[in-house]
């Protein structure tokens, strides 16, 4: 290298260094340079969350970091099927509620994980198949989403349903063998049970444009085209020592389909690149306006499922690692704001019936041997203070569970009556209730009468 070129290179290097140093100083010196992950993410309308375990909430170091740094929590195991329905029809929410209450106490968002997953199925479900399993799956989705109704920011409705490798197709499982429509049936049941929660599909090995992520992309595109209620896609991002060059482009192509994207289970193997890979993921999310938040899968390395890989942001003693600093800096560097919370559009829309006391319409999601019905009740021009909806079921069909209404009878003409909080409807106002049944769903319009 000539002396001139060498001194030019040195000049360039020191100029770059000056920019790096001065931009670092400028950021730290500005009012915008937040000092915790959650506060920094919130500046652009995003969240920064952690998966947490109910069994660790008594650990003061753990909860100290949790309360200080994060503004979203995910239940690492406590809201899964084996935890919430250990025997069929018996629901236990003790530990799931501990996670929920921790999130509420922190003023954090709570992510629900996960309604249906082929792993951590309770033993009774593992040995089921066919219509019995499909009915059990939908009942599980309905019951758990109803229990947490209105309190979950995003649900992982279906987790890890796509196969690894080059097929781009579905993974074989007893869930999949109930019929290819099980995923959309689960999303419709979740929407009926909790219309306010964002509904996500969540998977791993989707950290770039590859056969598996493209298979999921095609499913999401199809769901959006057919009005299946999906709001978000979760990219787990359990990463090794490298990251795909098209990580951000992959997030962006999903966002362009009209769904939010979230990084849902981030952890990165410790190695020379750990801090850089964390920064790359953070910058990618910050650059995609529909990337609404990031969740790391645990707090300290000692809390991680990846024993010995030290993949998290805090060491075993709770000290911040270099990866922590790189994430905070990338969050503080900013980016386009996330659109922030928005309500999913309702799956059913009907017009109020002027003059009549009330009207009702039904939207059905059916499969061979069962169905979920969502009924929308709309007040006429006078408003109502209590309503009854009559639904005619075909012979052989029966209601097995109902939410947001009470029913008398389960077969033939079934009458559904409002519960305490949804009987009063202003003129033109509307509410929804739902029920699940065996057999075929109703085929004629329901009747509606004011109480």
Per the structure block, which two tokens stand in for 258? 């009209």
- Name, in order, each residue with C-beta under 8 angstroms of 186's C-beta and a sequence gap of 6 or more: 115, 116, 137, 138, 141, 157, 158
Least separation in angstroms between CB 203 and ligand G3I: 8
Query: In this complex, which beta carbon is closest to ligand G3I, that of residue 113 or of residue 153?
Result: 113
The alpha carbon torsion through 202, 144, 227, 253 (nearest 10 deg) reads: -20
- The residue among 187 and 297 lying less far from ligand G3I, judged by its C-beta, is 297
CA 50/CA 63 separation, integer angstroms: 11
Pick between residue 159 and residue 374 the one whose CB is nearest to ligand G3I.
159
> Is 78 a known active-site residue?
no
Catalog residues that contact ligand G3I under the rule CB under 6 A: 76-77, 119-120, 159, 204, 236, 265, 305
Q: Residue 100 CB, nearest distance to ligand G3I (Å)?
A: 17
* CB closest to ligand G3I, residue no: 305
Answer yes or no: are the C-beta atoms of 105 and 83 closer than 8 Å.
no
Minimum CB–partner distance for residue 74 and ligand G3I (Å)? 9
CB of 269 to ligand G3I, least distance (A): 14
Minimum CB distance to ligand G3I, residue 76 (Å): 5
Q: How far is the CB of 295 from ligand G3I (least distance, A)?
A: 11
Which residues are CB-contacts of 281 (< 8 A; sequence separation ≥ 6)? Answer: 237, 239, 243, 247, 263, 266, 268, 294
Q: Residue 115: which residues within 8 A CB-CB, separation 6 or more? A: 81, 140, 141, 144, 145, 155, 156, 157, 158, 186, 190
Given the residues 121, 265, 309, 432, the one annotated as active site: 265
- Report residue 32 as tokens: 């915008």
Nearer to ligand G3I by Cβ, of 44 and 236: the residue is 236
Token pair recorded at residue 437:
């049944």
- Reported as type and span, the H/E element at residue 249 is helix 247-255
CA distance 39 to 20: 23
Helices (H), 35-161: 37-42, 60-69, 81-84, 94-106, 123-126, 130-147
Which residue's structure tokens are 């919130």? 42
Identify the three-state secondary structure at position 242. coil
Residue 236 or residue 310: which is nearer to ligand G3I going by CB? 236
Residue 260 or 265 with smaller CB distance to ligand G3I: 265
Which residues have CB under 8 Å from 379's CB, separation 6+? 352, 357, 358, 387, 425, 426, 427, 428, 429, 430
Q: Supply the residues annotated as catalytic.
A: 265
């Amino acid at each position: 290298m000539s002396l001139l070129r060498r001194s030019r290179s040195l000049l360039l290097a020191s100029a770059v260094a000056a920019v790096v140093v001065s931009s670092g100083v400028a950021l730290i010196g500005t009012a915008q340079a937040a000092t915790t992950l959650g506060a920094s993410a919130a500046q652009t309308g995003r969240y920064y969350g952690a998966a947490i375990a109910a069994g660790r909430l008594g650990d003061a170091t753990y909860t100290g970091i949790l309360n200080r740094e994060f503004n979203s929590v995910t239940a690492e195991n406590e809201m899964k099927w084996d935890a919430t329905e250990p025997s069929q029809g018996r629901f236990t929410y003790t530990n799931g509620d501990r996670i929920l209450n921790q999130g509420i106490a922190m003023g954090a968002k709570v992510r629900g994980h996960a309604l249906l997953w082929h792993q951590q199925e309770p033993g009774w479900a593992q040995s089921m198949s066919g219509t019995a399993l499909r009915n059990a799956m939908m009942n599980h989705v309905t019951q758990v989403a109803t229990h947490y109704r209105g309190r979950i920011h995003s649900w992982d409705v279906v987790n890890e349903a796509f196969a690894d490798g080059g097929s781009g197709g579905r993974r074989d499982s007893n869930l999949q063998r109930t019929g290819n429509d099980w995923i959309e049936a689960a999303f419709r049941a979740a929407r009926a049970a909790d219309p306010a929660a964002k509904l996500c599909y969540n998977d791993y090995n989707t950290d770039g444009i590859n056969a598996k992520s493209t298979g999921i992309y095609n499913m999401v595109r199809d769901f959006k085209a057919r009005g299946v209620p999906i709001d978000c896609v979760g990219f787990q991002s359990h990463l090794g020592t490298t990251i795909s060059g098209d990580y951000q482009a992959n997030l962006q192509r999903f966002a362009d389909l009209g769904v939010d994207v979230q990084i849902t289970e981030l952890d990165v193997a410790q190695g020379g690149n750990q801090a850089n890979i964390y920064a790359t993921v953070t910058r990618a999310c910050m650059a995609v306006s529909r990337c609404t938040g990031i969740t790391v899968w645990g707090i300290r390395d000692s809390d991680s499922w990846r024993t010995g890989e030290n993949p998290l942001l805090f060491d075993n003693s709770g000290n911040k690692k270099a990866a922590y600093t790189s994430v905070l800096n990338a969050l503080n560097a900013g980016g386009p704001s996330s659109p922030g919370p928005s309500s999913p559009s309702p799956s059913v829309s009907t017009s109020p019936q002027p003059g009549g006391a009330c009207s009702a319409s039904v939207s059905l999601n059916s499969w061979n041997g069962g169905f979920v019905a969502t009924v929308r009740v709309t007040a006429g021009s006078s408003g109502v203070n209590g309503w009854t909806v009559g639904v005619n079921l075909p012979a052989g069909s029966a209601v097995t569970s109902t939410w947001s209404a009470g029913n008398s009878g389960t077969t033939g003409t079934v009458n559904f009556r409002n519960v305490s909080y949804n009987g009063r409807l202003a003129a033109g106002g509307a509410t929804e209730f739902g029920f699940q049944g065996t057999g075929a769903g109703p085929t004629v319009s329901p009747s509606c009468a004011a109480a």
